[in-house]
Structure 1
Amino acid sequence: MKLKRSKKSVMGSLVLMLALSSVVAACGNKNNAGGNAAGGNEGPLEVSVMTILLSPSPAADDNKIKQAIEKATNSKLKIQWVSGNNYTDKLNVTLASGDIPDLVTINDPFTSVFRNAVTQGAFWDLTPYIKDYPNLNSKISKTAWELTKMQDGKNYGIPRPRPAEADQFFVIRKDWLDNLGLKVPTTTDELYDVMKAFAEKDPDKNGKNDTIPLAAYMNPPADMGTLAMIENSFTGANVKNDKWKLVDGKIVNTALLPETRKSLEYLAKMYKEKLLPEDFASLKLTQASDLFKGGKAGIILEKAGTMNDYYEKLKKIDPNMKPEDFYPLTSMNGYNPKGPGFSGMISIPKSVPEAKMKRILKMVDTWMNDDVFAIQQYGIEGVDYTVKDGQKVVNTEQLAKDNGPDFNQIVYVADPYASSTKVYFPKEANDLFKKIQDEREKTSVADVSIGLYSPTVQKLLPEFEKKVQDLKTKIILGREPITAWDDFVAKAKTDADLAKMSQEMTDAYQKRSGGAAK
């Protein structure tokens, strides 16, 4: 995860250091505010909320979906909706001011501003309380809870869950494999043989030599683009670019791994043998996707559940195509990536008394009940959805007008199969995609470096990554020999700054994990 810092966020950090003392001091000021802070049979819990708005206009206070959620959770929500375009700036100003709402969406838990707020005691450590709320335990993955821990190994917010499994990985044209009598590849050697056949043996049976094995692109000097997944299949590290892997109890930079060298030889051979688009290094993501949508490429990096757009276009080219022909690979060399399982989190400031904090946790837990979360999923019966043959049929346009999806920015429940299946796929396809996801779960690997803080990394890693990516690009394109990589790695192993980055990342991992790295 690459962290971006604007000038405003840096200024916010400085202002925050001066203002947070007032936040901590204010902890007692609200103790008597809102006598409904205790549990029991008292009236609705009044909760001020600040969150992200992604739609054109916010839900009004008398919005029917909002009122239904309030009734179900015994709450009264005072929501401050902030446009997603400037939410980060607004959040920084709010944190620095010390006047923080009872429940606030933290879109990136790892900014220096939020880290400083946590360090200064501005937010509740929720770690001791989570066990008392069943939905917070069962409907948010262990991966999400682990990767949102701060540097002291504690959780200062509730992760906003996303499916952790079936993250973006290789999806292959199964019909092309069948046309050539090939098996689904599970190793990079087998993948190479498949790509070679896709390039040379007319897999679409149109009688032309016009097919491309992999819909690949790259972002020099930023990152490896599609080719990162091939590199990861060699290293076993879940990273988008040249970053970090846990090896023998130490966080090391993947550039130093011998498997990275092997992946570069593999990729250079792919380019030399024309298994990559000739102009892959200058293609954009959308252009690579168009190669697949246009029936020219046989492999793409995607999630199974995102394939409907491709299917609609390819069906016009080949009417015999089936959704099952978009076949997600289970693993490559025993590896496949696990998603982080979260997108930001919601946090409670220490200015909220403990009794009220517990009621807010109870409100969120209740909100995650299936029947309550369904309110924002489907809306109001007869207005946003109708029931046909026992199934809810949603008018998505009306639901959007009624702001149903906006409430996902506060509380969300992730379908564990949401990355793999969709209602518009036939049962056969969804059953296949679920089966493959279950298999992937056995070997999926999370990026353990997410959220780890190292001041040296913040300062020096971008320049190091730029050099790494520049050399990788040249080697793949044949402009530099592989020995240039050997020379680079030999020098990097003696780099005191890189060693310091590795040590700080290892220390951060050990602290977050509550002990020695495993």
Structure 2
Amino acid sequence: MTKKWALLMGSAMLVTTVLSACSSNNNGQQEANANQPVADNPAPAEQAEPLELTIAAHLPGEAPAEDNPFELALEKYTNSKLRFQWIPTSGYDDKINVMIASDELPEIVKVSYVPNIISSMQNDVFWEIGPYLKDYTNLSAQPETYYNNIKVDGKLYGLPVFRPVGRAVLQYRKDWFDAKSLTVPKTLDEWYNVMKAVAEGDPDQNGKKDTYGMMLDKNYNQGVASTLTRLSVSQGGPNKWKVDDQGNFTPEFMTDEFLATMKLFNRLYEEQLINQDFAVSDVSVIDKAYESGRVAIRISGGNAQSMQTNLEKVVPTAVMDAVGLEGPEGVRVPGENGNAGILAIPKSSVKSEEELKRVLTFLDQLLDKEMVYLINKGIEGTHYKVEGDFTIPLDKEADAKEVKPYRDVLLQRGESYNMDKPMQQTPLFKKNNDVVIENEKHVVANPALTLLSATYTDRGADLEQMITDAQTKFIMGEIDEAGWQAAIEQWKDAGGAKMIEEYKEAYLKVQQ
């Protein structure tokens, strides 16, 4: 069978699949909802020639053996012949840059949202796939936020390796709260009262003043996990940047909500209600303090069950709980980028629209129910078993070696999409996961996330260091509010003002 005939067959099958999905939708039998399973897409007809694909992806450890049972199951369902080009994580970005420069890219390559890749997207190295998504049942069912977060100049040049966008969860010692008749804080005044009650109320009843409401590590104001950002967003503030109807941008640290949050931590620091060495404390040290039963609250992207498991080894009676990060206006959490990389399709290796559509069909099938189970859980009977409405892991070591490398590369949304038998977990684990899923309804987007700024590319790291250092000085009382305003002016003069204008220009260009 010729390659041309195979492509025609693939296109014909795609049309059949799309028409079938449309018919199903018209009959009201299928819901394209991000958190509800959709009807399974049929695997390609047996007579179609297998789609040959090479996928480049990073791997931190040992590569799985070729033609292993996982790959064979994946190939059988998708009617494909796959070759995974595993590249060590340490040199991955450099290798991808060489492949781009030499025009030797595979059909699918996992890339990061970084300046050189963005430039390649702008230069048409990769296919723009946004206009095609409507034709694919699973791809079109995913929340628009995931796609918006990786667009370049308003265009979509790949598919996100999905990760939750609203991971921030408030995890707390429920046993302490119950014993002291405390309620989960919402306003900044309530946060202060809880922190004071825990620090001074001896909740562990050891007669010592050795507990804290919250402890910070030296990265407390860094990146998407910034405690200052998470708390100020809950109070109504923006996520990193605010933009008005005219496209004027304001950084979060120039808003009233952020300043009020810093003032809270300044007061806590002055009254010794948070750890005095936070500016130099490694996260590992803070983790141990939480796990030893000395701290009440943590805003975390992890699961509360992990803390419960470690904590009860030291304090068997400890009880953790997890709730949404709620403020005066309800739950509000900063939206994260929602991906662990982007699967891009190079034009040099996928040369025609017909070939592109067949590759997209393969990627769409990864979100079919059968593939969701395979990618997330492995092979039934080997990596997991089914008991009633749940699945039970059988061999976690085998899963780590034989399934996880693919799970970290291929499209999947865990138990949030097309999975009706979740892994059997503790009620706390499930509650934490449910909060993360519910958070998707309450995320506050960063309007500058996908905008380009030459100043940010050139001096963004230095500018961020300048302002985060000033935040620490303010909290520690080394500068007052006038000193803080002076630090903002220095940030503007060093390039911040230019970056604000560049974001406005880029934003208005996308809005046209």
With the shorter chain as reference, the TM-score category is: 0.7 to 0.9
Aligned partner of 1:64 in structure 2 is 69
The verdict on how the C-alpha distance between 1:463 and 1:387 changes in structure 2, with shifts beyond 3 A counting, is: closer
Q: Is contact 1:163–1:417 with CA below 8 Å preserved after alignment?
A: no
1:411-490 matches, within 5 Å, as 411-415=410-414, 423=423, 425-427=425-427, 429=428, 432-433=431-432, 436-437=435-436, 440-489=439-488
Q: Secondary structure at the match of 1:150?
A: coil
**Residues 499 and 381 of structure 1, relative CA distance in 2, 3 Å threshold:** closer
Shift of 1:272: 0.4
Aligned-partner Cα distance in 2 for 1:35–1:84: 38
Q: Residue in 1 aligned with 2:19?
A: none
Q: Which residue of 1 aligns with 2:88?
A: 83
User: Residues 291-310 of structure 1 correspond to what in structure 2 (within 5 A)?
Assistant: 291-303=289-301, 306-310=303-307
How many matched pairs? 465
Note if 1:196 corresponds to 2:196: yes
Deviations 1:258-306 (A, max 9, x none): 3333333222111001111121111011111211111001111213x52
Matches of 1:154 and 1:463, distance apart in 2: 29
Say whether 1:137 aligns with 2:140. Answer: yes
SS of structure 2 residue aligned to 1:356: helix
Q: Is 1:216–1:225's contact at 8 Å kept on the other side of the alignment?
A: no
Q: Secondary structure at the match of 2:53?
A: strand
Q: How does 1:189-268 map to 2 (within 5 A)?
A: 189-219=189-219, 226-234=227-235, 236-239=237-240, 244-248=241-245, 249-268=247-266
- Residues 83 and 339 of structure 1: is their aligned pair in 2 closer, same or farther, counting only changes over 3 Å? same
1:328 to 302, 309, 323: 323
Deviations along 1:69-108, one digit per CA (max 9) or x if unpaired, are 11100111122111122111111111111121111111x1
Q: Which runs of 5+ in 2 are unaligned?
A: 13-46
What is the identity, as a one-letter code, of the residue corresponding to 2:115? S
Q: Is the 8 A contact 1:220 1:470 kept in 2?
A: no
Cα pair distance change 1:499/1:390, threshold 3 Å: closer
The TM-score with structure 2 as length reference comes to 0.83
How many angstroms apart in 1 are the aligned matches of 2:387 and 2:433?
26
Give 3-state SS (helix, strand or coil) of 1:346's partner: strand
Q: For the residues of structure 2 that align with 1:384 and 1:205, how far apart are their CA atoms?
A: 45
Counterpart in 1 of 2:21?
none
Displacement of 1:206 after TM fit?
A: 3.4
Aligned equivalents of 2:487, 2:438: Cα separation in 1: 38
Is the 8 Å Cα contact of residues 235 and 260 (structure 1) preserved in structure 2? no
Q: CA deviation at 1:231?
A: 4.3
The answer to whether residue 90 in structure 2 is matched with residue 98 in structure 1 is no
Cα deviation, residue 439, structure 1: 5.6
For residue 113 of structure 1, what is the aligned residue in structure 2?
116
Change (3 A) 1:196 1:329: farther
Q: CA deviation at 1:132?
A: 0.3
- Supply the distance in 2 between the matched residues of 1:312 and 1:36 (Cα, whole angstroms): 53
Aligned equivalents of 1:114 and 1:294: distance in 2?
Answer: 44
Inter-CA distance 219–371: structure 2 relative to 1 (3 Å threshold): closer
Counterpart Cα distance in 1 of 2:505 and 2:423: 45
Give me the whole-angstrom Cα distance separating, in 2, the residues matched to 1:436 and 1:78.
37
Gapped runs of 5+ residues in structure 1? Answer: 1-31
> Which SS does the other structure have where 2:318 is aligned?
coil
Contact between 2:466 and 2:491, CA under 8 Å: does it hold in 1? no
1:145 to partner: Cα distance: 0.5
Relative distance call for 1:383 and 1:434 in structure 2 (3 A) is closer
Q: Render the CA deviation track for 1:369-398: whole Å, top value 9, x for unaligned.
A: 111232233333443334455754331222
- Select 1:54's aligned residue among 33, 56, 60: 60
Question: Normalization by structure 1: what TM-score?
Answer: 0.82
Supply the AA of the counterpart residue of 1:98.
D
Q: CA deviation at 1:468?
A: 1.7
Q: Tell me how far apart the structure 2 counterparts of residues 333 and 85 of structure 1 sit (CA, whole Å).
A: 44
- For residues 417 and 173 of structure 1, what CA distance do their matches in structure 2 show? 27
CA, structure 1 residues 273+369, in 2 after alignment: closer, same or farther (shift >3 Å)? same
Q: CA deviation at 1:366?
A: 1.2
For residues 79 and 389 of structure 1, the distance between their equivalents in structure 2, rounded to whole angstroms, comes to 35
SS in 2 for 1:192: helix
Describe the superposition over 1:230-267 as per-residue Cα deviations: whole angstroms up to 9, x where unpaired: 3444562224xxxx332443222233323333333222
Q: Could you tell me whether the CA contact under 8 Å between 2:416 and 2:437 is conserved in 1?
A: no
Among 256, 268, 274, the alignment partner of 2:272 is: 274
Offset of 1:417 from its aligned partner? 5.3
Identity percentage of aligned residues = 31
